[in-house]
Structure 1
Amino acid sequence: MRNILKNGSLLKANANKKVLKMKAKFIPLYIAALSISSVSCKKFLEADPPKTFSVSEVVFQDEKIATSATVGMYTSMNGFNSQFASGFLSILMSITADDYYYGASSYDAYKNNDLLPSTSYLDRMWSQPYAIIGQANSVIEGVANSSLSASVKTQLTSEAKFVRAFCYFYLVNMFNKVPLVIDTDVNKNKTLPQSTKQEVYNLITQDLIDAVAGLGDAYASAERVRPNKKAAQALLARVYLYTQKWELAESTASLVIADNRYKIPTDLTTVFTKTSEEAIWQLLTVNVSTTGVNTWEGFSMVPNNTTVNPLYRIYQTTLDAFAGTDKRKLIWTTEQVFGGVPYRYPSKYKYRTATPVVEYNTVLRLAEQYLIRAEARANIGTAAKISEAVNDLNVLRSRANAQPSLSSNLSKADALLAVENERRFELLGEWGHRWFDLVRTNRAVQVLSAKTNGFTASDMLIPIHEEILKTNTNLKPND
């Protein structure tokens, strides 16, 4: 079949009916391969199609099939447990920070900030994002070489660029220097050297600018499970914040906040449901292995029953930092007693299993945009901007009933500390925010020394797994 696909003239020589029959047999296999490719952790680029496979000749000549291949990127993110985007990044980075810890020994290297190139699971944090990037590159190339309509090409290409930027965002923030894979040439990509952090951010930024230009405000599906223009702007606002482009971070977040489709609901139990008004982008529940799973975080963290040992335990220092009236502590964490000892575990996701599905994995939500804008305004640092930053923080504190409200007369240093604290409370356990915040603001040593004796600047570096280093001799350790 590869020879048939390689030779476009043979395809054209067949009658349309025969070609469509061949497509019907092959395309589901191709899409399935894209969808499950992120499961493997052994190779650098699992998702790249064979060199002899001409994607555009078959997959991307049909709009429905091309769309299915694009949607396959999201299936890869959320189809199986213990994967980069299905809760594992959130879990590992939250444990590495000071959100919560694991009650058994499985993640001790993360809890103790003693990560080595041999540490379990680090390979997934590299290979799985790259697998999804491979899928995105396949979509971008396939669409470019297809005969699809201009509007469909723009939609699918923009989604793929958004996903590629999303994956590179986490790769560069975990490993600092990473290879920039932007096509499907396996022979070239398997020996690429690492690009600088700035070069990676340049690609991320351009991909998101392109996605903003190409995506519409309307979602491509009935739910918020495929990115739209506001999702691209939301991620771009975060990128501007991380790269210290304060005015751009402020203005871009403001565009998202101004969209009245997104709201800060007063009922905290609705924030992570599949119908949440706060959600900007979610991952559709597509689990293929365990009946009833809504989100893999919920499945992992919610105990089987009220008598078992809750393994994901929030640090007491983290709990003590909340205001006593803060509903985020009361509603987004749950106490369970085991062996006479009370533990509180993260419970933003309430369901271990539920049928029909109630919750989706929430990736981007409105509260983060208020936090981005507040931090950008605080860094601009004028009295007027600091006052506006405090107003943004108080929107979230008011929703949570966190008393008292913050004063608008804070100094710049106090305003930035207030932002750090509010991000800690609001984004607890989500997508590694706490870890990335402490590292990017150079606060990790001061803050995490209270958790891990002897925490130093070198502990802020996440090592590249030794098995990954073996796949490409041009890769250098992150030390």
Structure 2
Amino acid sequence: MKRKRILLYSACLASILHLSSCESFLSIDPPKDRVAAEDAFSDNKTAEATVLGLYVGMNNYNNQFGSALLTLLLSSASDDYYSAFTSYDEYRFNNITPSASYLDRLWSHPYGYINHANKIIEGLEASSLNEDVKKQLSAEARFIRSFSFFYLTNLFNKVPLVTTSDINTANTLGPSTQEEVYQFVVEDLIRAESDISDEYLGTQQGASSERIRPNKKAVSALLSRVYLYKKDWKNAESTATTVINDTRYKIPSDLNTVFLKTSQEAIWQLQTVNTTTAGVNTWEGFTIVPATATARGYYNVYQPTLDSYEANDKRKDNWLKPYTIASGTFYMPYKYKVRTGSPVTEYNTVLRLAEQYLIRAEARLNQGKTVDAITDINVIRERAGLTLLPNTLSPEETALALEKERHLELLGEWGHRWFDLARTNRAVAVLSVTKGNFTQADTKIPIAESILLSNKKLEQND
């Protein structure tokens, strides 16, 4: 992906703090490597570049929502891993206030992506481009819009359903319920699923061996997750099955291949595009992996989580890394192993096949298909080198086994553990073991003070 193809739209995303931050972007001359908005949909090439700018904007700088920040904060707030840096203590000790560090970014960055997506959808609708091109690019924008709304509503519950790029309108919208957001997301994803290519595309709509632009199965994978969170078990099962049955995606036996740019398990990945820090593969790797092989780590897996690994679990051996200092031996997350290195070998993996098996297992369990659920869980356990669960487990035992597998399999990935414990009402029971006095109130993440000031109709998360 060449920087010269990226439009001015993407520039607004890196530093967005409010929805209004892109309001006057047309008042300045565009840099030489970008084009003005009125020309963005004049031909296929520039329209495509506008969409590619979405992905660049999600992952071009460190400490953004889409470039490790969400993962770092929610891993600390749950029982995945915590940072030794005090700037994350509010999340580690679940003392998150409306003035907490980084909190505004969990809101403003996704809404920046949504604003970008809305501009694309509106621009394409008004353009005279080929209908097939319009459908493809609009579907990609709808996917990112839905992806962003999914995280916003699960972080803050009631959030404005912004479907226009008009800033004056957007900044006066009141919150929608989670049910309303989910309904919109499902409809948007179903439309995107119908319109988007089943093949992975590169530039100029050509086929690509990389999986950095979402395809039909990426949309389906996100849709299956939304169905799961909605407790629409039947649709969650059938949609996950559609992805699982696609032979392009596999559960590789070698755990060290899962997060490579060539991963057979990856359904959708983000490619880091950055020219200021040489050799960055993923921002998660850059943040967590020490600068030298002998240096200490600064991100530690919570001890109760370490204790939950069974003997011979390959995930502990391959996805965690021990280091020893004066106070003892600690384990840091090590799914991404490259701090900096060229050529690039790792991409940020957002959606992967293992989650689809775990989604289907939960959906089947909640439909009374306990044995089928155990079969899906065992696909993940077998890859981890563990003894397979017997088919004689009760539904209650299977539910606990599934909770554990989701934790250890998806540890440190996109806030899965935090959202899982919150949506299943298991946060207090589980996190009290790790955190001590963890209460139901601690499951609510507040909206940042600066965000509330930007729109009088917003309501603080209870």
TM interval, shorter chain, is over 0.9
Q: Which moved more, 1:436-445 or 1:197-206?
A: 197-206
Post-superposition CA distance 1:275-327 (Å, at most 9, x none): 00000000112123210000000000001123333110001211110111110
Q: Matched residues in 1 for 2:421 and 2:105: separation? A: 23
State whether residues 361 and 377 of structure 2, in contact with CA within 8 Å, keep that contact through their aligned partners in structure 1: yes
Choose which of 356, 359, 363 in structure 2 pairs with 1:372. Answer: 359
Q: What's the CA shift for 1:57?
A: 4.3
Choose the corresponding residue for 1:46, options 8, 21, 34.
Answer: 21
Letter in 2 for 1:441: T
* Equivalent-residue separation in structure 2 for 1:415 and 1:228 (angstroms): 33
SS at 1:77 equivalent: helix
2:283 maps to 1:299 = no
**Does structure 1 retain, via aligned residues, the 8 Å contact 2:19–2:108?**
yes
Q: Deviations over 1:228-285 (max 9, x none)?
A: 0000000000000000000100000000000000000000000000000000000112
- How many residue pairs match? The answer is 448
The question of whether the paired residues in 1 share the 8 Å contact of 2:26 and 2:37 is answered with no
> Aligned ranges for residues 4-83 of structure 1 at < 5 Å?
31-47=6-22, 57-83=38-64
Normalised to the residue count of structure 2, the TM-score between the two structures is: 0.94
Q: Residue 154 of structure 1 is aligned with which of 135, 139, 150?
A: 135
Q: Give 5+ residue unaligned stretches, structure 2.
A: 29-34, 203-207
Report the counterpart of residue 431 of structure 2 in structure 1.
448
Is 1:219 matched with 2:200? yes
Match of 2:216 in 1: 229
Q: Distance in 2 between matches of 1:48 and 1:396?
A: 47
Overall identity of the aligned pairs, in %: 52
Residue in structure 2 matched with residue 350 of structure 1 by the alignment? 337
Q: 178-187 vs 50-59, which deviates more?
A: 50-59
Which residue of structure 2 aligns with residue 122 of structure 1?
103
Separation of aligned partners in 2, 1:33 and 1:178: 27
Q: Answer yes or no: is 1:438 the counterpart of 2:413.
A: no
Determine the C-alpha separation between the residues in 2 that align with 1:309 and 1:48. 44
1:209 aligned residue: 190
Give, in whole Å, the separation in 2 of the partners of 1:448 and 1:356: 40
- Kindly indicate whether the alpha-carbon contact (under 8 Å) linking 1:48 and 1:131 is maintained by their aligned counterparts in 2: no
Q: Does 1:290 align with 2:277?
A: yes
* 1:426 correspondence with 2:413: no
CA separation in 1, counterparts of 2:130 and 2:156? Answer: 38
**Partners of 2:255 and 2:318 within 8 A in 1:** yes
Q: Distance in 2 between matches of 1:56 and 1:114?
A: 42
Distance 2:285 2:441 in 1: 32
CA apart distance, 1:203:
1.1
Partner of 2:31: none
Is the CA contact (8 Å cut-off) linking 2:19 and 2:115 kept in structure 1? no
Q: Distance in 2 between matches of 1:233 and 1:55?
A: 33
Counterpart mapping for 1:230-309 below 5 A: 230-309=217-296
Q: CA offsets, 1:307-355, max 9 Å, x none? A: 3331100012111101111100100000111236211100000100110
Corresponding position: 1:131 with 2:115: no
Residue pair 1:77, 1:86 contacting (<8 A) in 2 also: yes
CA distance in 1, matches of 2:439, 2:378: 33
Note the C-alpha offset of 1:415: 1.2
Distance 1:216 1:347, change over 3 A: same
Secondary structure of the corresponding residue to residue 331 of structure 2: strand
Checking the alignment, whether the CA contact within 8 Å between 2:220 and 2:243 is kept in structure 1 is yes
Match of 1:431, SS state, is: coil
**Matching residue's letter, 1:437:** D
Matched position secondary structure for 2:379:
helix
C-alpha separation in 2, matches of 1:145 and 1:50:
20
Q: Who is 1:395 aligned against? A: 379
Residues 31 and 72 of structure 1 are in contact (CA less than 8 Å); yes or no, is this contact kept in structure 2? yes
The equivalent position to 1:406 in structure 2, one of 368, 389, 402, is 389
Aligned pair partner of 2:169 in 176, 183, 188? 188
Distance in 1 of aligned mates of 2:327 and 2:105:
36
Matching residue within 60, 80, 86 for 1:99: 80
3-state secondary structure, aligned to 1:61: coil
Aligned equivalent of 1:3: none
| TM-score normalised by structure 1 residue count | 0.91
Counterpart contact for 1:51–1:185, Cα < 8 Å = no
The alignment status of 1:173 with 2:160, answered yes or no, reads: no
Q: Secondary structure at the match of 2:269?
A: strand
Give the gaps of 5 or more residues in structure 1.
1-27
Question: 4+ residue stretches of structure 1 with deviation over 6 A?
Answer: 51-56
Query: Cα–Cα, structure 1 residues 49 and 135, in superposed 2: closer, same or farther, change >3 Å?
Result: farther
The CA distance in 2 between the partners of 1:333 and 1:464, in whole Å, is: 32
Letter in 2 for 1:219: Y
Q: In structure 1, how many angstroms separate the alpha carbons of the residues matched to 2:82 and 2:115?
A: 33
The CA distance in 2 between the partners of 1:447 and 1:261, in whole Å, is: 36
The aligned residue for residue 467 of structure 1 is 450
| Aligned 8 A contact 1:302 1:350 in 2 | yes
Contact 1:47–1:135 (Cα < 8 Å) also in 2: no
CA distance in 2, matches of 1:243, 1:35: 32
Contact kept in structure 2, 1:101 and 1:314, CA below 8 Å: yes
1:327 — aligned with what?
A: 314
Larger Rg: 1
1:43 offset after TM fit, Å? 1.5
CA positional deviation for 1:32: 4.3
